């Protein structure tokens, strides 16, 4: 019997929201149970429910007498998947309702199918009666903007003019960016190959020459993907290898390197460096680093290591260090909507302490005259400008190198969807020779 897509979506979103599991870990488990043709539908529902969770929760709360608890919670998420389909997908209403109700049987409780059916039918009636729809002025900010309240407060404080723009950008589906391996092809040469495959290009970033596609395609349809001629990487992440600007014979360290996109990009652009060491504390994530290196035909010394310690270090100082610090991930919410529900307000202080610890430790491994590029995929100032300013203020051998035209600006904060990129932060620091 074929797996019911709605049942799997309910299980997956329940695992993320109620059990705190990553969508990136959970979704592949469920995709493995279905036909390839159904993969897109399952992904769309799971990502959609997590994008619009407060709004969907608000709809369900108005339509049931009392909330489901315990083992019945998965059926709450089944109702969310049903309303998401009715509200945001092009699936015919009758199909969305019948398939979602049928999922109750797949979840081994046909009895609750009646409740699911009633909620979805009542939702349809509510939509038809437009007067019963709540004015957006009457709902709370989390429901209105589909973000947790603590996060909205932080974004309002950090970006008093742009806060709503940031929240709106987080709700958009992310574009697909690709990175051409320039050891194999020029940008112009690869654009020709894309044109031959009828893959349309929307934009080329002038700084990094990252290519943004008009619409996402399966990676195996990208010319030369299996042979390492191209990789998928957001335009913001592609700035790292450009900014660190490695020279021939440099000894380079990439800290917190998994999954290895930036490691590989540096090696592609700077094949004459003396060595590349890539470290990450998570051994499982380093599997991806090795896979990427192998596909691209590149070499690096890959080590499972804690960037906050020096137990792994052989004593050789580095000319260039990329520190892609552990962070809140608040710049990549449009790509990973589960971050909104997995990240908690009290995580930020712990993360900033860890960032300080790593930055202090890794700085001691940098040669005088060497460059450290500090990077996060966060948009929170305490992890970015405030963090870097604190480091500069407390160390007399740090020189900040401006990245933007405003030389007084500490680092470069990219906001979500700015230049169609993910939210990202970079700061360039040079070690003074005292």
* 276: enclosing H helix or E strand: strand 275-280
Residue with tokens 């890539």: 278
Strand bridging mode 366-376 / 424-431: antiparallel
Q: Are 416 and 333 in contact (CB under 8 A)?
A: yes
No. of helices (H) and no. of strands (E), the chain: 17, 12
Q: Are 252 and 319 in contact (CB under 8 A)?
A: yes
- Strand locations in 77-196, DSSP E? 177-180
Round the CA-based radius of gyration of the chain to a whole number and report it. Answer: 24
* 196: enclosing H helix or E strand: helix 187-196
For the CA atoms of 219, 1, 48, 50, the dihedral, rounded to the nearest 10 degrees, stands at: -110
* Residues annotated as catalytic (active site), given as ranges: 377
231 DSSP β-pair partners: 179
Closest alpha carbon to 234 in 214, 218, 210, 258: 210
What count of residues does the chain have? 434
Distance between CA atoms of 89 and 75, rounded to whole angstroms? 20
Q: Are 67 and 76 in contact (CB under 8 A)?
A: yes
Tokens of 340: 């909104």
Distance between CA atoms of 254 and 212, rounded to whole angstroms? 25
């Amino acid at each position: 019997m074929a797996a019911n897509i709605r049942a799997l979506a309910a299980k997956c979103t329940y695992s993320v929201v109620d059990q705190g599991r990553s969508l990136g870990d959970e979704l592949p488990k469920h995709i493995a149970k279905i036909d390839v043709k159904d993969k897109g539908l399952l992904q769309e529902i799971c990502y959609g429910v997590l994008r619009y969770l407060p709004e969907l929760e608000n709809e369900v709360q108005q339509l049931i007498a009392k909330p489901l608890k315990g083992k019945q919670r998965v059926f709450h998420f089944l109702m969310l998947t049903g309303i998401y389909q009715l509200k945001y997908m092009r699936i015919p209403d009758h199909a969305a309702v019948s398939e979602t109700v049928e999922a109750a049987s797949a979840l081994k409780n046909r009895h609750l199918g009646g409740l699911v059916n009633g909620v979805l039918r009542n939702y349809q009636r509510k939509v038809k009666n437009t007067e019963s729809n709540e004015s957006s002025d009457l709902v709370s900010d989390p429901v209105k903007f589909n973000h947790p309240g603590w996060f909205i407060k932080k974004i309002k404080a950090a970006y008093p003019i742009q806060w709503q723009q940031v929240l709106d950008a987080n709700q958009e589906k992310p574009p697909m960016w690709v990175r051409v391996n320039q050891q194999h092809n020029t940008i112009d040469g690869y654009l020709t190959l894309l044109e031959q495959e009828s893959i349309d290009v929307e934009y080329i970033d002038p700084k990094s020459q990252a290519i943004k596609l008009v619409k996402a395609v399966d990676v195996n349809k990208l010319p030369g993907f299996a042979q390492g001629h191209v990789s998928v990487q957001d335009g913001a992440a592609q700035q790292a290898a450009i900014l660190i600007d490695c020279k021939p014979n440099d000894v380079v360290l990439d800290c917190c390197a998994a999954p290895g996109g930036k490691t590989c990009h540096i090696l592609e652009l700077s094949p004459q460096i003396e060595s590349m060491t890539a470290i990450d504390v998570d051994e499982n994530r380093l599997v991806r680093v090795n896979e990427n290196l192998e596909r691209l035909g590149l070499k690096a010394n890959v080590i499972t290591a804690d960037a906050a310690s020096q137990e792994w270090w052989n004593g050789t100082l580095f000319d260039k260090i990329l520190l892609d610090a552990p962070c809140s991930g608040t710049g990549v919410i449009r790509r990973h909507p589960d971050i909104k529900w997995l990240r908690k307000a009290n995580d930020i202080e712990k993360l900033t302490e860890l960032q300080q610890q790593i930055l202090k430790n890794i700085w001691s491994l940098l040669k005088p005259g060497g460059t450290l590029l500090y990077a996060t995929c966060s948009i929170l100032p305490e992890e970015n400008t405030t963090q870097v300013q604190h480091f500069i203020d407390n160390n007399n051998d740090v020189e900040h190198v401006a990245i933007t035209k405003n030389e007084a600006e500490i680092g470069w904060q990219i906001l979500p969807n700015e230049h169609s990129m993910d939210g990202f932060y970079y700061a360039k620091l040079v070690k003074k020779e005292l």
